[in-house]
Structure 1
Amino acid sequence: MTADQDGSHPPQRLGLLLAWHGSVTQTRMKKALSAAGLTPRHAMTLMHLADGPISQRGLAERLEVDPSVLVGILNDLEGDGLAERRRDQADRRRHNVALTEAGEAALHKTNAALDEIEDGIFAGLSAQERDLLRGLLDRVNTSAEDFTCDE
């Protein structure tokens, strides 16, 4: 009889393990981001802007948020001088979003803080194992659209 079978250890349900590790990781990440003055959504938005300007609609799709939610995020980032919206010269109805110099500096500081946290969290994994974990997590179905909750 194994330790799991005799009841001395809780069942190792993958969903519960992922939720527990996610909760601990989220707490650590939020603490690191708050030191940079950002929320996770703000940081993710800056990361998506790192490759250059993108349309506001395209950014909402990448972040998988409603455009109205993105407006609030961008209002915050613009208010802090980290991002800016500009009308697209080719299509005046469309806005493009870009990092400012202050946004690039904030992103650099954020990435350094997150690197430190991730190095601690994944210290027990080799670079190859981290890549494997990333690949496996990419295949985990976490789309909210695929789940309904019947109460």
Structure 2
Amino acid sequence: MAAAHPNDRLGFLLSFRGELTGARIRAAVAVTGLHPRHAMTLMQLAPGATSQRELAATMEIDPSQLVAVLNELESAGLCERRRDPADRRRHIVEITPAGKEALGHIDQAVSEAERELFGNLTEAEQELLRGLLDRVVVDRAAHECGE
């Protein structure tokens, strides 16, 4: 039996396209001196302050990994953490004005990269792709639990 062509294997196709897309997005974000994980964190903080725990859950990232990202962003003056006066164990995280400015540069660079990456797709096709990617199961435990 002949092996399947890589383009016939969705996992390989998605992985390969994902690597190419990731490289383009990393290059776009790098113009700000940041990494995509920093950009994602700033995007999540843009609407307003949130707890560190909620941020980790929203980003689906281990809290210890988030601490490292926040340390880097805070050192760069792009976000700040403070204790919640109502619960001293809880940290509130907020984007700074410098973080908002950096996010503006990131948004421009990523928009340009996305025009290059997805320019051959109509708006409807882009929406369809978003919907399909949202349905791809990457968390085996959640899938097995029927979530």
TM-score using structure 2 length:
0.89
Bigger fraction of residues in helix? 2
Q: CA deviation digits over 1:11-58, x for unaligned, max 9?
A: 521111101110100111111111111111111111110110000000
Q: CA deviation digits over 1:67-116, x for unaligned, max 9?
A: 11111111100000000001112212211000000000111110110000
Q: Relative to structure 2, which stretch is displaced further, 97-106 or 56-65?
A: 56-65
Give the superposed CA RMSD: 1.8
Given that 2:39 and 2:103 are in contact with CA atoms closer than 8 Å, whether structure 1 keeps it comes out as yes
Percent of matched pairs sharing the same residue: 52
Distance in 2 between the 1:71 and 1:146 partners? 24
SS in 2 for 1:38: coil
Q: Relative to structure 2, which stretch is displaced further, 28-37 or 138-147?
A: 138-147
TM-score using structure 1 length:
0.87
State the partner residue of 2:139. 143
Deviation at residue 134 of structure 1 after TM alignment: 0.3
Give unmatched runs, 5+ long, in structure 2: none
Distance in 2 between the 1:25 and 1:99 partners? 27
Deviation at residue 144 of structure 1 after TM alignment: 5.4
State the partner residue of 2:41. 45
Q: 2:64 aligns with which of 62, 68, 72?
A: 68
Q: 1:30 aligns with which of 14, 26, 30?
A: 26
Opposite residue 136 of structure 1, the aligned amino acid is L
Distance in 2 between the 1:131 and 1:59 partners? 25
State the partner residue of 1:59. 55
Alignment coverage as a number of residue pairs: 141
